[in-house]
Amino acid sequence: MSEAEPTFLGLNPGGWVALAMLVVFAVLIWKKVPGAIGRALDSKITLIRDQLAEAESLRKEAEALKVEYEAKSASADKDREALLERAKHEADEIVAKAKTDAEALIERRTRMAEDKIAAEERLAIEQLRSTAAEAAAKAAARLIAERHDAATDAKLVDQAITEIAGR
In 10 A of CB 155, how many CB atoms? 11
What confidence tens digit (pLDDT) does each residue in 104-145 have?
A: 999 999 999 999 999 999 999 999 988 888 888 888 778 777
**Is pLDDT larger for residue 104 or for residue 4?**
104
pTM of the predicted model over 0.85? no
pLDDT at residue 9 is higher than 90: no
Q: DSSP character for 10?
A: T
Q: Are 119 and 125 in contact (CB under 8 A)?
A: no
Q: DSSP character for 9?
A: T
pLDDT at residue 10 is higher than 90: no
At residue 26, what is the residue type? A
pLDDT of residue 2: 60
Domain ranges of the chain: 30-147
